Amino acid sequence: MKANKISDWLKEYLTNAKLSSFIVGVSGGIDSAVASTLAAKTGHPTYVVSLPIYQDKTQLERANNHIEWLQQKYPNVIPMEIDLTRTYNKLIDTLTPSSLPSQTNWKHPTEIANANTRARLRMTTLYSLAATYEGLVVGTGNKIEDFGVGFFTKYGDGGVDISPIADLYKSEVYALGTELGVSDKIIEAAPTDGLWADGRTDEEQLGATYEELEWAMNWFEIGDENTPISEKENQILNIYLRHHLRNKHKMIPIPIYQNL
């Protein structure tokens, strides 16, 4: 089973790193559910962490139910819930112009800035736990998000130590979730990053379905440019390419000036 291969790979990497645990943030979505289950299967202490910041109740309920299921199935799972709402509010308040009267031309944080701040606070918390429990922070991004359209927060959910599902398409993550016995409620839920007050889904933000984006990624990697495509397919390719180019800075090494 692919799940066993990935879990064994995680175990081997942890041993070679001379660390003792995994730290996984759980959101109530399929990606974090699969990643946390793969980590739990290693038998090593796995800290499964819910990090709500104004979290939708349905998402939080799915996350908590998943954590309970993991506890019942794997005795090495340690649950944690750390509500970061007050921390988030304090930081946003500190960044508002009224809190910085000596600054000139100071702007209110934008909606996208606030969303990314949520993700970065979660990353900071996970790394604090990793340092405390001698652990590795486990990534929850899939192939489309991490290497296709760059649908993650730089130094937020993109800040991880190891990525067990980053070479799997979303469809493969769903299949692996079914293989692992992940809850149907999680599998059937619309994918969302949980960073927006209006509850917008990933596909609403991206402008295309994951299935369409998988097709586009494959087309750019192995497609025949001489093969005719439909107008709809051309639109999907343009959506994919727009996201890929705009977010490419997240997916490549940091540029370094060469002092020659």
CA-CA distances (angstroms) from residue 65 to 29, 114, 224?
11, 28, 45
**Angstrom distance (rounded) from CA 7 to CA 232:** 39
Confidence of residue 12 (pLDDT cuts 50, 70, 90): very high
**Res 102: pLDDT:** 65
Structure tokens at 29: 């979505």
The answer to whether residue 227 scores a pLDDT higher than 90 is no
**Res 99: pLDDT:** 64
Find the largest Cα–Cα distance for the chain. 61
Contact 57, 69 (CB under 8 A): no
Measured at the alpha carbon of residue 241, what is the angle toward residues 240 and 247, in degrees to the nearest 5? 90
Residue 241 CA from chain centroid, whole number: 21
- Strands in 135-137's sheet, in edge-to-edge order, are 77-81, 46-50, 21-25, 135-137
Average pLDDT on 154-180 reads: 97
CA-CA distances (angstroms) from residue 121 to 85, 114, 157, 199, 208?
10, 11, 10, 19, 28
**Res 255: pLDDT:** 93
**Res 222: pLDDT:** 84
H/E segment holding residue 121: helix 111-132
Backbone φ/ψ region at 22: left (φ over 0), alpha (ψ -120 to 50), beta: beta
Strands 135-137 and 21-25 come out as: parallel
> pTM of the predicted model, to two decimals?
0.94
pLDDT tens by residue, 61-103? 999 999 999 999 999 999 999 999 999 999 998 888 776 666 6
Confidence of residue 109 (pLDDT cuts 50, 70, 90): confident
**Res 100: pLDDT:** 61
User: Which one-letter DSSP state was computed for residue 147?
Assistant: I
Q: How many helices (H) does the chain have, and how many strands (E)? A: 12, 4
Confidence of residue 136 (pLDDT cuts 50, 70, 90): very high
What is the share, in percent, of the chain residues with pLDDT greater than 70? 97
The answer to whether residue 127 scores a pLDDT higher than 80 is yes
Average pLDDT on 96-111 reads: 73
**Angstrom distance (rounded) from CA 109 to CA 93:** 10
Report the CATH architecture of 2-202: 3-Layer(aba) Sandwich (3.40)
The answer to whether residue 228 scores a pLDDT higher than 90 is no
**Angstrom distance (rounded) from CA 3 to CA 196:** 32
Confidence of residue 260 (pLDDT cuts 50, 70, 90): confident
The answer to whether residue 225 scores a pLDDT higher than 90 is no
Mean pLDDT of the chain: 94
**Res 90: pLDDT:** 95
Contact 116, 153 (CB under 8 A): yes
